[in-house]
Structure 1
Amino acid sequence: MANQARLILLQPEGKTSQFDWIGKLTDAISRLPSVREKITQIVEFQRNAGWGKKLVEMGYPLNPFTGALSIYSSDVEGLKELISTILKENEVKDSAPVWLVGNDEKKITKTPKDPSKPLVKLMGLIVRNPNLTIPQFHSHWSGPHAALFCSKPLTQERVVIYKQFHSSPEWTKDFAQLGLSIAEFEGVVEVWFETVEDLEALFCNPEHVEEMMPDETIFINSEGSGVMIGSDSVETEKFIAAS
């Protein structure tokens, strides 16, 4: 896994956050030099409710979240200092968001045809198959499953970016102790496409579904897992490490 740490805030549908997390994050980063040199970017993902209807018809469950906020840091200590500072300085009466912490593995990275155009992103939140241990879950998903997915001609033709976020049990305990509500998911798959049509061409293709679904059942518990479809907004902020 990459050394860079990532903290994800998930906003449940039907619950409005009463706390300005983006404002508090950017304010704290600007005031704390030790944090500012570690935080690399904050990116907001927004669900598009009009996308993904064909996937639902194919049997893909949609997750009850309206979006996600990702904070990236060169190491997890930067995230800990950032969040602990915000919680110490503010009375956060906000039980709506749930959180994940871990790091990313990039499997496919291509240059988009039009870099100025937002990509369409499928964000799948994964609950682990309880028959697997946590190490077995991460190992199978990162290894055999990723290799199978990347080997498919449709994947190679349509996918711009394929990335896996792996939660860290150790880091999760640390952030739970800080007072964050931790989500039940142990992984997040992110797949970017040029268009919604490209996304549907891959995930609604019967042959693709028939080949991938059996392997997914090995490590995924379908109950509780699901997808969101939307796009990343323009980066809320970008902080480049001093180094």
Structure 2
Amino acid sequence: MSIRVSVLIRRRTDLTQEQFLQYWTTNHVQIFSNVKKVQEKIIRYNQFLILEPESDQLAAVGFPILQYDAAAEFFVERLDDLMELLQDQEFKEKVTADESNFLDHSSIQVLVGEDRVQYERE
């Protein structure tokens, strides 16, 4: 079973949601996916995009909505694989350096866990 690390992120305040998503889902993902250590250590990478109208619908009936613009989800076999990736020089020089182009580092929140599917429609 793999470990999922979900990183909740907010965009830089000088970017619109559209500008943020355009950069993150095109430029940044290309940089990220071309790093050798990413290809070795990451099983799967998801970009979770917040749907504002749907979030507003849930808020209207009383659900508290987290104030984030997106989440990056990393699936690894062991947490050590992600830790090794984060220390990789190429990753730091390319991926970490690029993050300042679109996200607010001070806003990051992280969840670490595993999926246990209890129901799935056939």
Secondary structure, counterpart of 1:146 in structure 2: helix
Letter in 2 for 1:188: A
Counterparts of 1:188 and 1:177, CA distance in 2: 22
Identity %: 25
Counterparts of 1:155 and 1:217, CA distance in 2: 19
- Tell me if the contact between 2:24 and 2:102 (Cα under 8 Å) persists in the aligned partners: yes
Query: 1:23-62 maps to which residues of 2 (within 5 A)?
Result: none
- TM-score w.r.t. the length of structure 2 is 0.91
Query: 1:1-243 maps to which residues of 2 (within 5 A)?
Result: 118-232=1-115, 234-240=116-122
Gaps of 5+ in 1: 1-117
**Based on CA coordinates, which of the two structures has the bigger radius of gyration?**
1
Higher normalized strand content (fraction of residues): 1
- Tell me if the contact between 2:35 and 2:90 (Cα under 8 Å) persists in the aligned partners: no
Deviations 1:37-74, CA, capped at 9 Å, x for gaps: xxxxxxxxxxxxxxxxxxxxxxxxxxxxxxxxxxxxxx
- Tell me if the contact between 2:55 and 2:65 (Cα under 8 Å) persists in the aligned partners: yes
Counterparts of 1:137 and 1:191, CA distance in 2: 19
Higher normalized helix content (fraction of residues): 2
Counterparts of 2:82 and 2:62, CA distance in 1: 37
Tell which has more relative contact order, 1 or 2 (C-alpha 8 A, sep 6+): 2
Gaps of 5+ in 2: none
Deviations 1:76-121, CA, capped at 9 Å, x for gaps: xxxxxxxxxxxxxxxxxxxxxxxxxxxxxxxxxxxxxxxxxx1022
Deviations 1:140-196, CA, capped at 9 Å, x for gaps: 111100111001111111111110100012222222112111101110110111122
Deviations 1:123-142, CA, capped at 9 Å, x for gaps: 10011111100111111111
Letter in 2 for 1:165: F
Counterparts of 1:146 and 1:207, CA distance in 2: 15
Letter in 1 for 2:33: C
Q: CA RMSD in A?
A: 1.3
Cα deviation for residue 236 of structure 1 reads 2.1
Paired residue for 1:59?
none
